[in-house]
Amino acid sequence: MSYVDVGKENSTPIHLYYEDHGSGHPVVLIHGYPLSSASWEKQVPALLAAGYRVIAYDRRGFGKSSQPTTGYNYDTFSEDLHKLVTHLKLKDFTLVGFSMGGGEVARYIGRYGSKDVSKAVIMGGVPPYLLKTADNPEGVEASVFEGIEKAISADRYAFFTEFFKNFYNTDVYLGKRVSEQAVQASWNTAAIASATASLACVPAWYEDFRNDVAKIDVPTLVVHGDSDRIVPFASAGSRTAKLINGAELVVIKDGPHNIAWTFAQEVNDALLKFLAKPAVKAQRTDTKRKAVA
């Protein structure tokens, strides 16, 4: 197993677990909450078959990475990502972030620029700014996040059970696009995550990425389900695509939050089509949009 050292907590090193497969243009996959890099299992084979080098890692606190009690904010997450790509000496790479991972994509480019980044993909991502404020009326009420924090503090295992119902829209797709076993596997991954991380990540969801998004100057694909109950399309994906010059927006019709699993073929088709296009930073000002049934 491969790890990169990203810091220390007292006497304990903080390691990120990662996998590095294939060859060709590097694609870095950044998972969502409360999962791990294993959640990309429907994308990795498609990317490898198409000739890409695929790097997937576990965010601190999740999966096989270390579980420190510090660093659950996007400045640290983006720094962790920077240390990984520096360790691997990646050039001309694509960043693909799902849910929380969309925050890493935005903050990474916001902090480190796009010198070595050729493309960006934000899938069901938390940018540009999820919290409803006076200057952000499209956001989500603070009481929603407060309720989530209370539920996690009271019993995170019970919270995860309810969370995954809306993560997959199981009332619609259970037994059709997602099995009971797949939902249970997600729950198992969440259960072994750090209890500290499970709670501390919630405020990170509504960090303000508007300045970061404004700095994204590479070809960008935004993919979002229009039935996302975790990160509302109107609050996130729709706005992100409008804020990034020349971004391409693919809306997955009736898609829940985890479209990477429930609508894997549609997601893979959009991802591979986007990756195959020439990477040109000088983008057009119009925003493309199409719906995928």
Cα radius of gyration rounded to whole Å, the chain: 18
Quote the crossing angle between the two packed helices 142-168 and 195-205, to the nearest 10°: 110
- Check if the beta carbon of residue 178 is closer than 8 Å to that of residue 170: yes
Three-state helix/strand/coil letters over 226-241: CCCCCCCCCCCHHHHH
The one-letter code for the residue type at 182 is A
Is position 228 annotated as part of the catalytic site?
yes
Backbone angles phi, psi at 265, to 5 degrees: -65, -45
241 contacts: CB under 8 Å, gap ≥ 6: 222, 247, 248, 249, 287, 289
Which is catalytic among the residues 78, 228, 235, 254?
Answer: 228
Closest CA to 63 of 35, 91, 26: 35
Is position 257 annotated as part of the catalytic site?
yes
227 contacts: CB under 8 Å, gap ≥ 6: 169, 172, 254, 255, 256
- Across-strand partners of 222? 122, 249
CA distance 181 to 79: 35
Which is catalytic among the residues 15, 31, 224, 257?
Answer: 257
Is the C-alpha dihedral spanning 14, 26, 225, 216 positive or negative? positive
Which is catalytic among the residues 36, 78, 99, 198?
Answer: 99
Is position 99 annotated as part of the catalytic site?
yes
CA distance 78 to 51: 27
The residues assigned a catalytic role are 99, 228, 257
